[in-house]
């Protein structure tokens, strides 16, 4: 059995605790640290005061293309890229710090942010987003109007691309607040509710729909 560095272990426990606080699922922690399942589950209970949720992470690439998740994911990914490129953070730490900044930015200026209100982009989804980029399923496309980079399917043509901020769908923002308040907090029902919302896409060009269940 390999001897594990105590300092390295302490670092991993710190990282895992930060991730749990931000809402990470156990599968994320297992992928990001070398701590055992039992230790992570114990740590989860200590930090959150409840057992970790079970089950697969059934997140599809297409979720990131619906208009509001697309804006939030693009914001998060831009922050992440900055953190990864311009700070000494490694990838896991950059994810944590970028997600904290995303939370700050996404609620800035909003008057009615309830204490229980869930962010549009959960930590686990943010983590999935990075994996989708790493595996070449997603790219950042530049909006022709605002020149911002937005999450898009890999290999989608960039010519004529207009982002969801410059060209929001007609129903944008009309149902979200009320929906968020009435939506139950369980992650399963939440993702089911938001995923089939086939809002008109504020993007040019069609794409082949890809839905990927990622076993972790």
Binding residues for Zn(2+): 143, 146, 163, 166
- When the beta carbons of 29 and 202 are compared against Zn ion, the nearer one is 202
For position 143 contacting Zn ion by CB under 5 A, the verdict is yes
Which residue, 144 or 195, has its beta carbon nearer to Zn ion? Answer: 144
- Beta carbon nearer to Zn ion, 105 or 189: 105
Work out whether 146 is an interface residue with Zn ion (CB under 5 A): yes
The answer to the question of residue 163 lying near Zn ion (CB under 5 A) is: yes
Which residue is listed with tokens 């426990």? 13
Give the Cα separation of 150 and 166 in Å (integer): 11
Q: How far is CA 140 from the centre of its chain?
A: 15
| DSSP string over 60-127 | -GGGGGSHHHHHHHHHHHHHHHHHHHHSS--HHHHHHHHHHHHHHHHHTT-S---TTPPPSS-HHHHH
Per CB under 5 A, 71 contacts Zn ion: no
CB of 166 to Zn ion, least distance (A): 3
Binding Zn ion (rule: CB under 5 A), the pick from 42, 91, 145, 174 is 145
202 binds Zn ion (CB under 5 A): no
């Amino acid at each position: 059995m390999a001897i594990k560095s105590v300092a390295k272990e302490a670092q991993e426990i710190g990282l895992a605790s930060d991730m749990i606080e931000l809402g990470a699922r156990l599968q994320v922690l297992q992928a990001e640290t070398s701590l055992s399942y039992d230790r992570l589950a114990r740590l989860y209970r200590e930090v959150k005061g409840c057992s970790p949720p079970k089950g697969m992470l059934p997140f599809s690439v297409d979720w990131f293309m619906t208009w509001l998740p697309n804006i939030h994911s693009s914001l998060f990914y831009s922050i992440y890229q900055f953190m990864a490129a311009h700070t000494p953070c490694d990838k896991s730490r950059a994810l944590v710090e970028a997600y904290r900044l995303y939370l700050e930015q996404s609620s800035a200026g909003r008057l009615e942010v309830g204490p229980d209100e869930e962010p549009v982009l959960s930590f686990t989804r943010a983590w999935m987003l990075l994996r989708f980029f790493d595996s070449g399923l997603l790219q950042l496309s530049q909006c022709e109007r605002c020149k911002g980079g937005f999450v898009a399917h890999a290999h989608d043509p960039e010519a004529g691309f207009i982002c969801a901020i410059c060209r929001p769908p007609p129903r944008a923002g009309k149902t979200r607040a009320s929906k968020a308040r009435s939506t139950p907090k369980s992650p399963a029902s939440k993702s089911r509710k938001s995923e089939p919302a086939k809002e008109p896409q504020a993007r040019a060009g069609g794409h082949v729909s890809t839905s990927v269940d990622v076993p972790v």
